[in-house]
Amino acid sequence: MQIGDKGGEAAAYGNLGNVLQSLDEYQKAKEYYEKALTIQMQIGDKGGEAATYGNLGNVLRSLGEYQKAKEYYEKALAIKMPIGDKGGEGRTYVNLGSVLRSLGEYQKAKEYYEKALSIHMQIGDKEGQAKCYLALGGVSSGQKKYTNGEKALSIATEIGDREGQAQAFGLLGNVFIWRNDRQKAMECYKKQLAINGEIGHRTQFAYSYLNLAIVSLIIGEYERADEYLEKVRVINCHIGNIDVELETLRFFSRLRLLQSKREEASSFLYQYMDKFETLRNFQHGNEQCQLGLLEERGIIPYQVLSKLLCAAGNLHYALYVEELRRARCLADLVARNFSVENEISADPQSWYGMEEIVNKERDSAFLYISYHERKVSLWVLKANGDTLFRESEEVDDQTLRAEDAFNLNTFFNKSIRGFGVLPKQKCEDRSFNETMSILPEDESEADFRGDEAIDTERMLSVCSKLVIAPVAELLTQPEIIIVPERSLYRVPFAALRDQPGGKYLSETFRLRIVPSLTTLKLIQDCPADYHSQTGALVVGDPKVGEVRFKGKTRSFSSLACARKEAEMMGQLLDVHPLLGERSTKEAVLKEMNSVCLIHIAAHGDADRGEIVLSPGPFSSNIPDEEDYLLRIADISQVKLRAKLVVLSCCHSGRGEIKVEGVIGIARAFLASGARSVLVTLWAIEDKATEQFMNRFYRHLVDGFSASECLHQAMKWLRNI
C-alpha cells in the first residue's frame, strides 16, 4: 500500500481471502475479496476481476446465498469468455452448475457440467475433467453415477489429486448405498475420511463423518452413528457451515427416532427448522431461491416434526409446522400487496391466531390435507374451536403398481393425468401445447371412452378413499375450505364422493381451495377499501394469427365459442368486451388493475396456465412470445384490485407442482392482489361451458359469493 503497487495490493487481499476461505471463515473472506475487486476494477485488471467474482461466488454459495453466488459466477463468465480463459470458463460452468443444483434446477446444472467437461477435454485439463465427472455424478443416477465416479477416481489417482480422490470415494459410497452394498459404502467413506483428514479440508472431513453416520444408521449401529454425528458437530463448531449443521440436525433427529427418543428427536427438528428459516431469510425478496430451498430441504424434516406433534396430541402446533412449508412465497407477495404483516415464523411463541382465521368462516369446515410416503393426514377445523385429526389407511402396493408409483406423491401426480374431454366431442381446444390426446384410427370413440370412464372412476374412488372417507362424518357445514398440498392441487375435489356410490362433494357442499391458512388470513385482514367495487374486464377470442412460439412459427385458430362466451358475459355485466384484435396484451394489462372482475376466454398453456392474447398492431411481422403471451412475470408487475378473476382457458389451473404449491398463472393473479381466482384443470364441452358461465354470472349479479355461484352452477348443470 505504501509504494502504491495497486495490483500487488489486490493480489494480497485476494490471497488473504483464499486463506480465510480455506479456514471456512467465509464472512471475513468475503470482505477481503470485495477489497480486491474494488482495486481490480479501478486498474482494469480483467483477469483478476473475473477470478475475484468467482471467489465471491464460492463464498456466497458456502453462506447459502445461492442467487447472489449465481450472479457473481455469471459476471466471472462474462469476462472469461472474451479474454479466452478457457480453463476459467470451464471452472465457472462447474460453479454455475453447482449453484443451480442447490436451487433445484438439475437439468440446467447438468447442461453446465457437460459444457465444462467439453472445454476441459479440449484443453487437456485432467483435474478439470475429474471435477466435471464428479459434478455429473451428483446429478446422475444408477449406473451413470457409478461410471462418472469411477472416471473421476481414475483421473484423480493418475494426477495425484487427493481432494478429487476423496470426492470420488464419497460419490462411489453413495452409489453403493443405492445398491444396498453397505460394506463397500463404509469402505469408500472411510477412505474419503482418511484423505480429507490428511489434506486438512475440515468441511469435507465433516461430511465424511456424516456419511459414515448415515451408513451406521442404516445397518443399525446407533451408538457408532451417535459418535460420528458428535464428531461432525464438534468440527462444525469451528467452521460454522450451515449446510453441515442442517444435515447434522436432520440425522440426529432420525437417530433419536430410531432409538424411540421422540422428545429429543423433536428438539433436533425444532433446531433444524430454526436454522432453515435463517437460511431462507438470507434470500429475502428472492422468490426463485426460496422456492429451491424449500423444494430441496423443506419437506421431510417438517413432515416428520408435524407427525410427531400429532402423535403427541398437539394438533395446533402440527398445523403451524405444516404452514411453514405451504405457500410461503405466495404469502410474502400477498402481504406486500395488501400492506399487511405476514406473521408466520419458526418461533413457536408466535404461533397463535389460527382460531381467528377459522372463526371468520362461520359456515365452513376447513379440510387441511398433508401426505407422506403412503398415508394421508387430515385435519378438520371448525368455527366452534374443534380441531379433529384423522389418517387414511396406508395405500397398498397393488394400488401403487397400477399407477407405476412408489409413494403417494407419484401416485397423485400420475393418477390424475387422465381427466379431460376428447377432441372428437364438441370441445373447442383452448390449449396451445398440443396435449390433448388423439384417438388411434383403429379404435372407436365409444370403446375408448368406456375404458377412460372406468379408469377415471377408479382413480376418483381411490382419491375419495384416501382424502374424504376418513373425515366424511365430520364435514357437516355447508362449505368446505380445502387446504391441499403439492400434487393434490390436481385432484378434482368436486368429483369425489362422500362414500362409495354416494353423492359427489359438489352436490352437498360449496367448495373453496386456499393455498394456506396464512394466505387466507392475509386476505381476511386486507383493508376493506383495497379491492375495487365496480368495473369488469371481459376478454374473448384474441386474434393471434401467426406467431413465434418456442422457437417455431405456428398459427393459432380463432375461438368462436370463446367469443360467444365473452359477448354473453358483456351483456350480463353491461360492459364492452375486448374481442379479437382488440384483446391485445397491452390493452389487457392496462385495464386489469382497476376493475372488480376479470374474465378471460382464450388459449391457455397446459404446463403453466399462461394465456395467449392478441399481439397488437405494433408487433413485428411474426410476433415473438413477449408480444402476445400473458406470462406470470407480466401479472406480477400489476397491482390488481379484482375481487374475482375467471380464467376460462384450458388448463388455467395448471402449473409446476412444488412444495410451495402450483406455480402457474392462477397463483400469479393471487400474488398480485386478486381476492379469488376461478380456473379449470382440463377442457370441457363448449355448450356446457356456455351454460355454466351463464348460470354462474347470473348468481354473481344477484349478489351471491363466488363459491355459492360455483356450487349452484354445477348443481344446475348436473341436473339438466
Q: What dihedral angle (degrees, nearest 10) is formed by the CA atoms of 570, 574, 576, 580?
A: 0
Look up residue 622 and give its DSSP letter.
S
Neighbours of 561 (CB within 10 A): 21
* Model confidence pLDDT, tens digit, residues 110-129: 999 999 999 999 999 998 99
Asked whether the beta carbons of 420 and 683 are under 8 A apart, the reply is yes
How many C-alpha atoms does 408 have within 13 Å on its Cβ side? 22
Residue with grid cell 372463526, as numbered in its chain? 359
In this predicted structure, what is the pLDDT of residue 683?
63
Q: What dihedral angle (degrees, nearest 10) is formed by the CA atoms of 237, 242, 247, 248?
A: 20
Residue 326 Cα to chain centre, angstroms: 10
User: Among 63-67, 143-147, 621-625, 652-656, whose mean pLDDT is lowest?
Assistant: 652-656
Distance CA 419, CA 175 (A): 38
Residue with grid cell 352452477, as numbered in its chain? 713
Residue 570 Cα to chain centre, angstroms: 37
In this predicted structure, what is the pLDDT of residue 336?
86
Residue 687 has pLDDT above 70, yes or no: yes
In this predicted structure, what is the pLDDT of residue 329?
84
Distance CA 190, CA 184 (A): 10
Distance CA 242, CA 64 (A): 8
In this predicted structure, what is the pLDDT of residue 424?
44
Residue 517's nearest CA partner among 353, 718, 703, 337 is: 353
Amino acid at 556: F
Distance CA 504, CA 500 (A): 10
* Model confidence pLDDT, tens digit, residues 492-541: 888 888 887 788 888 888 899 999 999 999 999 888 888 888 888 998 88
Phi then psi dihedrals of residue 36, to 5 deg: -60, -45
Cell triple for residue 227?
A: 459418535
Residue 214's nearest CA partner among 167, 244, 254, 243 is: 254
In this predicted structure, what is the pLDDT of residue 444?
38
Phi then psi dihedrals of residue 142, to 5 deg: 60, -135
Look up residue 380 and give its DSSP letter.
E
In sequence order, which residues have a C-beta less than 8 Å from that of residue 483 and are 6 or more positions away? 326, 366, 367, 368, 369, 513, 514, 515, 516, 517
* Model confidence pLDDT, tens digit, residues 533-544: 888 899 888 888
Question: Please, which pLDDT band fits residue 309 given cuts at 50, 70 and 90?
Answer: very high
In this predicted structure, what is the pLDDT of residue 376?
92
In 312-444, which residue ranges form alpha helices assigned H by DSSP? 315-323, 328-338, 354-359, 397-402, 408-415
* Model confidence pLDDT, tens digit, residues 610-659: 788 888 776 567 888 788 888 888 888 888 999 999 888 765 666 677 77
Q: What is the mean pLDDT of residues 283-306?
A: 80
Amino acid at 446: A
Q: What is the mean pLDDT of residues 430-434?
A: 51
